[in-house]
Structure 1
Amino acid sequence: MPENPSVWEVRLGMYATPQQAEEIKERIARLLCSDPDHAPPCPIPWSVSLLHGAGPGDDDPYPELVEQAEAEKHLRP
């Protein structure tokens, strides 16, 4: 019995500058569609977007990333 397609969401949390985040977004887009100039639609519809993490005082969905980044700052020579 074939499964019915549905929408799936893959989340990726990263501690990065806006420029680094945009670069990663573009790399992911190229993984999903290696030929951006093809005639639409893509065989598997997809989208990608960037969402800025929480600000001071907000609930942070990835507190472990900030903690890891801070710890690694202290390990660098």
Structure 2
Amino acid sequence: MADDEPAVWEIRLGIFATEAEAGEVKQRIIHALCPNPDHAPPCPIPWEISGYGRVDTSELDTYETLLEQVRIERGSS
């Protein structure tokens, strides 16, 4: 597939936040993708967003850099 052909892309975002803050970020992303939710279909850029949930990072290396950033900023080991 050529780079200039449309395809499905997945973008993952890990944030260190409260549940309320995470919900607000999700709403901001939705608004950024579709600033006028009342428009007639289809959306100019088709998209879908999955739910969000708390991640158990004890068995994952996925967010190791993010967790290290939090440790440094909070001054804990």
TM-score (norm 1): 0.76
Structure 1 counterpart of 2:55: 53
Describe the SS at the equivalent of 2:75. Answer: helix
In the alignment, the residues of structure 1 paired with residue 46 and residue 54 of structure 2 have an alpha-carbon distance, to the nearest angstrom, of: 24
Deviation at 1:51, TM superposition (A): 4.3
CA contact (8 A) 2:14 2:63 kept: yes
Deviation at 1:7, TM superposition (A): 0.2
Describe the SS at the equivalent of 2:35. Answer: coil
Query: What per-residue deviation string (whole Å, max 9, x for no partner) do you get for residues 20-57 of structure 1?
Result: 1111111011111100111222121101222432343x
TM-score (norm 2): 0.76
Structure 1 residues not aligned, in runs of 5+: none
Structure 2 residues not aligned, in runs of 5+: none
CA contact (8 A) 1:13 1:62 kept: yes
Structure 1 counterpart of 2:72: 71
Q: What is the aligned-residue identity percentage?
A: 47
Large movers: runs of 4+ above 3 Å: none
In the alignment, the residues of structure 2 paired with residue 51 and residue 61 of structure 1 have an alpha-carbon distance, to the nearest angstrom, of: 15
